[in-house]
Structure 1
Amino acid sequence: MNTKLDVIIIGAGFCGITVAASLKTFGIDNFVVIEKGDTVATIWKNAYERLVSQNPYFSLPFFEGKEKYSTFKTKDEMVQYLTEYAHHFQVNPHIRFAEEVQSVTKIYNQNQTDYNWQIQTSKDILQCKVLVICTGLTHEPIIPNFLGQEDFSGQILHSSAYKNGIPYQNQKVLVVGSGNSAAEIALDLYEHGAADVHILIRGKRWVFPLYPRLRSLQYWLWRSKSYLKRLFHQNTISTRIEAMERAINFSPEELQAEIKETDQFIQRFALDLSAYSIYPEDKGPMDVEVNQGRVAWVDRGTVNQIKKGNIQVISSSIQQLSKTSVTFANGVSQDYDAIILGTGFRPGINKILKQPELYLNVNDRLLPKTDGKCQSIVEPTLYFVGFEKIIGGSETYGYYGWCTGKRISFQLLERKLLSCQELNVSL
């Protein structure tokens, strides 16, 4: 097996597969995609059963899919669609499944045409000229440690390990978190017959309804005068690529202006849940999502059950756990059989990168230091796709992936031409 490669892509999710598809399209074939799971879109495959896409008619660049999918793709449909996408662009032979990256080390060379990166995996040691990290923002679960946690006799489970509410029938369950996963899991528990469902919401959170005719928050975003509207309204492949590249070339000032305009449009649709101790954020929903990483809650039925009293909101924090109960900061204690943690994720790139402080923003969620277009500002042969501060989530990241693949292809071709010129060799 070839261990000297032009490009190594870490992660076979939306970003990794679109980068790979773009490389194939622009003539780069000496690359691999390393995926620790046994399929593409592993995070979706392993997610809770009722998870669906927040984006209606979700698709990636230049392939809508041959199958008939739901308006909001289910988790199984998302895996099926990405599998179709990889097959369509002939990416499958390049994917190394069930192989986990353990470390990434920079190789310091005098000549930039040499191999720049060494990747230690669970099965091999590989080297490449260009490295693309596409492990995403939800790679590592955030699991808080509560005082007295070791004494609690019930189950404590992160949302990443939750499947459905069947095991919790007739149980009293506390869900911790205010994001979409926490809200949907609380609803799932209620619908599967949990005796009591409480959801702990400490901070502020934007909440939007799922509109009639399946209009989600992203649909309204798409209808607004944001750059996504300009991107998705292109009619041909060439103009769509140009629109993608214009969007990626937005300056930070232009991006913030787009965020402000989008927020002014969509804030009018937010739900007023102050009667249930759920308050909107101080800044707009897109501002909070892009700059702080907190995605608005798009309701799929949880709010109705909160209003009916079937799901109870707790607005205090956890002070301590005991054998069967949780004591909150307001002094109230409640007995629970299980606690589900919808406490989010972190990128976790620092676990594989040597000298992570060199490549990551220590003061900004350990996000990569990039030029705003996925390329590292520290090493020009290192790319991070799926971490940029953008509007539109995973679908937009797919377009970033495509443009990054094109950029890398031209970068490799340019170096090949320079190398041939130095050696006085014709291609």
Structure 2
Amino acid sequence: MRRMHEEAEVIVVGAGPSGLSVGACLRSRGVSFEILERSSDVGASWRNHYERLHLHTVQRFSALPGMPWPAGTPTYPSRAQMVAYLEAYARGFDLNPRFGEDVRAARRVDSGFVLRTEANEYRSRALVVATGYNRVPNIPAWPGEESFGGPILHSSRYKNGEPYRGKRVLVVGAGNSGAEIALDLWEHGARPALSVRGPVHVIPRDLTGVPSQMSSLFLFSRLPSKVADAVSLFVLDRALGDLRPYGFTRPEIGPISQVVLKKRVPLIDVGTLELVKQGQIDVMKDVRSFSPGEVHFADGATRPFDAVVLATGYRTGIAEYFEDAEGWLDERGYPRYFGEPVPGAPGLFFVGYRNPLTGALHDIAIEAQRIAEHLAGEKR
């Protein structure tokens, strides 16, 4: 296939919240750009998430640059409301991504960057990578899983619990997706269990009547990590009690330090914990193997299940298409730099790869404006 060769001042890869935010900020500063998106719509990841999903952050502090949420939007917008907001945002800022352009290879050249999609080659002086940390599903493998007999699907393919009504379903992974999928399964009449693979901090979405994001914005993000850890654990002990009898153990590192140092967010509970305490959702240890109709766990337990949902996270996949990107990534494949020029790579920026205390969307808005200001300053 003959490739078309095109040039742009700035290429933005990804038309989710991060890429759209950068596009809007560049537009307002008169910097020309192209947005490349591998899917056929803006906000593809949000469209593909399970139906029950809501933001865990307050809409007031989760708006993208230049466009507040519509009046009447609930405190925690739904997945469908997020998709509608992204569509309105793209229209409002006249953002017209080039859809169906999946970047297969990207590399630096002396004068900027070269990107290849299936049909085209793009050259630009600057590159903003906004493909998100949900680009590639992380799907582990276990001995005997081919003999299980029931469906084993990643959470990226889970839509709702209706197909599992009356069935025994194991959700592997006690992060935010896993906990909410287990809750969704129970609400649809399934019999869910949650495999907790390691220590995890649990934080209510609303702590003592206040959204946890608000506490992070106005308290924890301003304190030294060790002090913030001590304060948060003191509050959590009184709000939740000892969770060890229910199968949840805490990491040795505190919840605030875990976010800052390990880039791992706590489980933000939206109702799953109460069902665990009531015995409606069982908590199991890590999976060790499968056999026909059964799952075997690290503590020696064996339980029958009809289906398994893998809430085992994602990879950014950046190193899989970006040549020599390893030097800019940490051991998990996440960029080391956010919303600022990458040292040694003039014109390269990453946006939307953090899960900070203050909320991902809140910080995406800040990063996007910072990137646009830098690129506009270079243009002058």
TM-score (norm 2): 0.91
Residue type at the aligned position of 1:133: V
Q: How does 1:288-367 map to 2 (within 5 A)?
A: 288-315=258-285, 317-361=286-330, 364-367=331-334
Q: Mark the CA change 1:26 to 1:290 in structure 2 (over 3 Å): closer, same or farther.
A: same
Q: Mark the CA change 1:286 to 1:139 in structure 2 (over 3 Å): closer, same or farther.
A: farther
Q: Mark the CA change 1:200 to 1:105 in structure 2 (over 3 Å): closer, same or farther.
A: same
Measured after TM superposition, the shift of residue 52 of structure 1 is 0.4
The answer for the alignment partner of 2:218 in structure 1 is: 223
Matched, 1:384 2:350: yes
Measured after TM superposition, the shift of residue 261 of structure 1 is 4.6
CA contact (8 A) 2:154 2:311 kept: yes
Measured after TM superposition, the shift of residue 177 of structure 1 is 0.7
Structure 1 unmatched ranges of 5 or more: 109-113, 228-256, 414-427
The answer for the alignment partner of 2:54 in structure 1 is: 52
Give the Cα–Cα distance (whole angstroms) in 1 for the partners of residues 201 and 344 of structure 2: 36
TM-score (norm 1): 0.81
Find 2:157's aligned residue among 152, 158, 161.
161
Residue type at the aligned position of 1:175: V
Find 1:41's aligned residue among 40, 43, 64.
43
Find 2:7's aligned residue among 4, 26, 31.
4
Give the Cα–Cα distance (whole angstroms) in 1 for the partners of residues 187 and 328 of structure 2: 45
Give the Cα–Cα distance (whole angstroms) in 2 for the partners of residues 321 and 342 of structure 1: 17
Find 2:256's aligned residue among 259, 264, 286.
286
Question: Which aligned segments of 4 or more residues in structure 1 are displaced greater than 4 angstroms?
Answer: none
Which sits farther off after the overlay, 286-295 or 303-312?
Answer: 286-295
The SS at the match of 2:35 is strand
1:119-145 CA-to-partner distances (Å, cap 9, x unmatched) read 111331111110110112222111111
CA contact (8 A) 1:18 1:60 kept: yes
The SS at the match of 2:128 is strand
Measured after TM superposition, the shift of residue 88 of structure 1 is 2.4
Structure 2 unmatched ranges of 5 or more: none
The answer for the alignment partner of 1:205 in structure 2 is: 200
Measured after TM superposition, the shift of residue 284 of structure 1 is 2.0
Q: Mark the CA change 1:73 to 1:32 in structure 2 (over 3 Å): closer, same or farther.
A: same
Find 1:131's aligned residue among 127, 135, 152.
127
The SS at the match of 1:3 is strand
The SS at the match of 1:278 is coil
Matched, 1:81 2:90: no
Measured after TM superposition, the shift of residue 157 of structure 1 is 0.8
1:160-215 CA-to-partner distances (Å, cap 9, x unmatched) read 11100001011111111111111111111111111x21111121111122338973
Measured after TM superposition, the shift of residue 264 of structure 1 is 4.0
Matched, 1:107 2:109: yes
Give the Cα–Cα distance (whole angstroms) in 1 for the partners of residues 329 and 203 of structure 2: 33
Instruction: Kindly tell me the number of residue pairs found equivalent between the two proteins.
Output: 370
Residue type at the aligned position of 2:304: D
Measured after TM superposition, the shift of residue 329 of structure 1 is 2.4
Residue type at the aligned position of 1:318: V
The answer for the alignment partner of 1:22 in structure 2 is: 25
Q: How does 1:365-376 map to 2 (within 5 A)?
A: 365-370=332-337, 373-376=339-342
Measured after TM superposition, the shift of residue 335 of structure 1 is 1.2
Measured after TM superposition, the shift of residue 279 of structure 1 is 1.8
